Structures are given as structure tokens and as C-alpha cells.
């Protein structure tokens, strides 16, 4: 008999709501508990599923009948929820970034291995139709030798976005600014498609949101281990907010991804399906948050929670494990170090 995994959400903010909406769309999965320091928000989130409500991770792990937890707390507080859950033998699916430093990510990976449970991370843009098509073309060698890879997350956030939550825009709990929080989606896609990065250099500044501890505008240059070059542009300073875009070029082809749709697709060696890809309207299910974080859809989360639950059951599934999810953190960490020192920075990953 197929078991229905009993999930708990730790956190009750905007992204926790996305998790709850995604779980509600999965017929064989149950939201059993919500844990938050804000009981009113936790009760609201738990109501539709008639889930239990807890005010501490310790109480949740000792009192609730759960199989796994979804962590949706502020980025720099992930470890304090993830480590106890892993030690309690619970599988964990954690929001991006997995944590805000490679040292913390490494501790989480080590604990998952000791406890023999799954540690996985959310990167919903990997689920998009366009991203999967580009990945398949890369695996098939259709781009030839990769030459240039660019990611742009030139978003806009109103000042109230930072005022509304005391943790946003802080080094302690946000772990950085536009790159760590918003840009990390594209950072993950770029390294997933281009392979390991060898070194980075970067500039950044706080140009549109006075008073932030962290950057709202950043530009980075990358050299991949395969020799390709790359750029990352990340900002919450670009009114009115542009769609996330990714450009992958090689000496045999180029593809451009805008959110989860293919905007350009051309190869030296064309195949019959190429024209259909160019004219297709497929995609759009994974909405971006270019100007409104509330516009993010739950489809990518739904797919990744479903895969996580398949893995819990021991069924074949593709999840972004801790080591894979930690690669984006390692790249962001190196970019920030380069910005501080003004020097090129070699990359290290968990």
C-alpha cells in the first residue's frame, strides 16, 4: 500500500503559504503540522488541512506524527530548524538558499548522512518546461563547446518589501541581498547548465534602497571549469522589474530562457522538433516575482514536493540533494568575497 507522507511546514510567511498551496494539490500527501513562532499565522496556514499547530521545533519533533518537514523560515535560520529535524530522523526539504554559508550547508549534509535521511533543497525553476529543454539539449551536445552563459534577475522591490520583515536585507538572516535572495534562482540554473565555476569577480552596491545592510544591485563575471565565460546580473533596484532571463551559447547553438519559456532557440544542426519549440507557447506555469513576490506560483514547488515524497517512499525520483543545492550557495559566497576584496575569487563548494 502506498503511504501518504505526513508533512510539517516550519515557518508561516509568504513562502510557507506557497508550500501549503502545493501540498493541497497532491492527492497522496498530507499537511499534518505547521510550526511557527507566530501562532495566529500558523493557525491560518494550518486551517484548510486541519493540521496541528506548534510554536517550537522541539515540540513539533517530539509531539507530532510526521515523516518529513518543509523548512520555510528566513534563510539564515534554516540550520536551526534543519539540524534538529535531521537528528530526529525526519526527511527535510528546505527552501532556497539551503543556508547562507557553505560551512552551515556542510554541517547539514553531514547530519543527513549520519542520520540516513534525505536532505533536499527547493529550486522550482528547474521544473520549468524551457529549463528542461535546454538541459536536454546540453546533455545531447547540441550547443557544441559552451562559450558564454548569462543570467539576469533585474527585479524591483518596493521599499515596503524590506520594511515588512525585519530579516530581509540583513546579513544575519537574509545572508545577502539581491544575489542571495532573488538571484540565487538564476545562479542555480546557470551552474546546473554550465557546470562547475572555477573563479568569479564581482561589483555590487546599494543603489535604490537606502539603509539596507546588503546589496540591491550586483554584477559578476564567471569563468567555468570548461573554459566558458559567464555573467550574472542581480538586482531589486530595476523598476518596474524585468523577467528573469538566461542565455546559453556555444559554438553550435544558442538558447534564451525567459522565466520558464523558450524565447530563442537556434542550432547549427537543426532537427524537426526545433521549429515546434520555437513556436510553442508551453510554459508559464512557474510564475516569476519580477515586481511582486506574491506573484510566484506554486507549480514548481508542487513538482519538487511530489518528487521528495516519491523519494521518501523509496520510489524513483529526482530531488535536488543537499550537495547539489549547496552549489549555488558556494557560488554566491565566492561572489560576495570577490566583491569585498576586489579580487578574483576561486570557488569552493560544500
Residues 43 and 101 in one domain: yes
Residue 293: inside a domain? no
Residues 339 and 193 in one domain: yes
- From CA 268, how far away is CA 214, in angstroms rounded? 43
Which pLDDT score is estimated for 156? 97
Reported pTM: 0.95
C-alpha cell at 70: 518543509
Which pLDDT score is estimated for 62? 95
Which pLDDT score is estimated for 137? 98
Which pLDDT score is estimated for 288? 73
At 211, which helix (H) or strand (E)?
none
Residues 144 and 114 in one domain: no
Residues 257 and 168 in one domain: yes
Residues 69 and 90 in one domain: yes
Which pLDDT score is estimated for 348? 65
At 293, which helix (H) or strand (E)?
none
Which pLDDT score is estimated for 293? 80
**Longest Cα separation, the chain:** 60
Neighbour-count burial of 43, counting CB atoms closer than 10 A to its CB (0-12 exposed, 13-18 middle, 19+ buried): middle
- Number of domains observed in the structure of the chain: 2
Minimal CA–CA distance to 293: which of 232, 236, 219?
A: 236
Which pLDDT score is estimated for 284? 74
Q: Which domain holds residue 230?
A: 127-288+327-346
Which pLDDT score is estimated for 349? 56
Q: What CATH number is given to the structural domain containing 30? A: 3.40.50.720
Give 10-residue mean pLDDT values along the chain (350 residues): 86 96 96 96 96 97 95 97 98 98 98 98 96 97 98 96 92 97 96 97 97 96 98 98 97 96 96 94 76 83 97 95 97 97 84
C-alpha cell at 103: 560551512
Residue 248: inside a domain? yes
Amino acid at each position: 500500500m502506498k503511504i501518504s507522507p505526513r508533512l510539517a511546514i516550519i515557518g508561516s510567511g509568504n513562502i510557507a503559504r506557497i508550500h501549503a498551496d502545493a501540498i493541497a494539490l497532491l492527492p497522496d500527501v498530507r499537511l499534518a503540522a505547521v510550526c511557527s513562532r507566530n501562532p495566529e499565522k500558523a493557525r491560518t496556514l494550518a486551517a484548510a488541512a486541519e493540521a496541528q499547530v506548534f510554536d517550537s521545533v522541539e515540540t513539533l519533533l517530539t509531539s507530532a506524527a510526521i515523516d518529513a518537514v518543509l523548512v520555510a523560515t528566513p534563510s539564515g535560520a534554516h540550520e536551526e530548524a534543519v539540524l534538529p529535524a535531521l537528528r530526529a530522523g525526519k526527511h527535510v526539504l528546505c527552501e532556497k538558499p539551503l543556508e547562507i554559508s557553505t560551512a552551515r550547508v556542510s554541517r547539514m549534509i553531514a547530519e543527513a548522512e549520519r542520520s540516513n535521511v534525505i536532505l533536499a533543497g527547493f529550486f522550482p525553476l528547474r521544473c520549468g518546461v524551457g529549463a528542461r529543454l535546454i538541459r536536454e539539449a546540453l546533455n545531447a551536445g547540441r550547443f557544441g563547446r559552451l562559450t558564454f552563459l548569462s543570467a539576469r534577475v533585474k527585479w524591483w522591490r518596493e521599499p515596503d518589501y524590506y520594511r515588512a520583515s525585519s530579516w530581509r536585507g540583513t546579513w544575519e538572516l537574509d545572508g545577502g541581498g539581491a544575489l542571495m535572495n532573488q538571484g540565487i534562482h538564476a545562479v542555480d540554473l546557470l551552474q546546473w547548465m554550465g557546470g562547475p565555476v572555477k573563479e568569479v569577480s564581482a561589483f555590487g552596491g546599494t543603489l535604490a534602497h537606502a539603509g539596507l545592510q546588503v546589496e540591491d544591485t550586483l554584477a559578476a563575471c564567471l569563468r567555468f571549469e570548461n573554459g566558458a565565460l559567464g555573467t550574472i546580473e542581480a538586482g531589486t533596484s530595476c523598476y518596474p522589474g524585468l523577467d528573469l532571463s538566461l542565455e546559453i551559447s556555444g559554438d553550435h547553438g544558442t538558447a534564451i530562457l525567459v522565466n520558464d519559456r523558450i524565447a530563442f532557440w537556434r542550432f547549427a544542426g537543426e532537427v524537426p522538433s526545433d521549429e515546434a519549440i520555437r513556436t510553442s507557447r508551453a510554459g508559464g506555469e512557474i510564475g516569476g516575482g519580477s515586481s511582486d513576490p506574491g506573484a510566484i506560483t506554486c507549480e514548481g514547488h508542487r513538482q519538487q514536493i511530489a518528487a521528495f515524497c516519491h523519494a521518501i517512499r523509496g520510489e524513483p525520483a529526482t530531488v535536488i540533494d543537499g550537495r547539489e543545492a549547496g552549489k549555488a550557495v558556494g557560488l554566491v559566497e565566492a561572489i560576495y568575497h570577490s566583491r569585498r576584496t576586489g579580487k578574483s575569487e576561486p570557488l569552493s563548494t560544500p
